[in-house]
Amino acid sequence: MKLKAIATENLAIYQRGSYEAPSGRTVRIGKEVSTAVERTVLHRPGTLDDWTPTARRDAPPRIEVTDETTGAAGRRLVEQEGEARVLALNFASAKNPGGGFINGAKAQEEDLARCSALYPCLIEQREYYTRNRGFGSFLYTDHLVYSPDVPFFRDERYELLEQPFALSLLTAPAPNAGEARRQERASPTAIRSTLDRRAELVLAAAGHHDHRCVILGAWGCGVFRNSPEDVAAAFAQTLALARFQGAFDRIVFAVYDRGRDQPNLRAFERQFGRASTLAPSPR
């Protein structure tokens, strides 16, 4: 099935609240979709600045770098490894709900939208898109959207699942480094400082919503043209901050990279290894 046709079918599934599984049985997800939409919240700039964890563990988080998509990582963690309350970062468009999902575009956000009920959660969040469209910079704003327990009902080949699973999703735009450099002559320092600040907000939002298992990745390293080395370093620097010590149990960097020499994946492996821990910074 073509990607645009999948989007059309998904819209019907959202409206109907059910779909026919490969076995022929009807799978009902209407209540789960409605609940995810109703509980989706917008975090405005400044609202997460003072967050600190209420409970800390003594050990640093388990950190992994894997060659898989965000959705595949989420399904593995939930179904195979029994992780509870998994949160995944949506590498989001700042201006269009689901990015180019409706028109069949293919990137991380669009794939999440094709496999789940992310899209109806986002189309209600008009302020997020209005603020970013009117911001006047490709660095975008610090608005974030949190959607809890979003049902996933397709696999990585977009086949309908016999049994849906749930991931919470955090929608946050990386700076569009390519256009910021080209149209605004944004400096490397301005782009990197935006990445650093927003990575900190992403992890603060995860902690605020009590998620201790978080899926991150090569955020903004596609069409936004952020350096994977910078993105990996921004997350490493943020995870090492004193405010995040003991806040998380597990961080998975799911970096699906089919490029020649896999530059995104290799950058994250150089930063973190395939499994590693981080010592805290003095801040």
165-185 residue pLDDT tens: 999 999 999 999 999 999 999
Fold type of domain 3-276:
Leucine Aminopeptidase, subunit E; domain 1 (3.40.220)
pLDDT at 269: 96
Mean pLDDT for all residues in the chain = 95
pLDDT at 275: 54
Check residues 79 and 54 and name the one with the higher pLDDT.
79
pLDDT at 59: 87
Least-confidence region, from 49-58, 65-74, 188-197, 272-281: 272-281
pLDDT at 46: 96
Residue 273 reports pLDDT greater than 90: no
Confidence class for position 121, pLDDT limits 50, 70, 90 = very high
pLDDT at 200: 98
Rounded mean pLDDT, 224-241:
97
DSSP string, the chain: --HHHHHHHHHHHHHHTEEE-TTS-EEE-HHHHHHHHHH-EEEPTTTTTT---SS--SSPPEEEEESS-HHHHHHIIIIIS---SEEEEEE--SSSTTTTTTTT--SHHHHHHHHBSHHHHHHT-HHHHHHHHTS-STT----EEEEEEEEEEE-TT-PEEEEEEEEEEEEEPPP-HHHHHHHH---HHHHHHHHHHHHHHHHHHHHHTT--EEEE--TT-STT---HHHHHHHHHHHHTSGGGTTS-SEEEEE----STT-HHHHHHHHHH-SEE--PPP--
Q: What is the pTM of this model?
A: 0.95
Residue 55 reports pLDDT greater than 60: yes
Domains of the chain, residue spans? 3-276
Rounded mean pLDDT, 102-123:
97
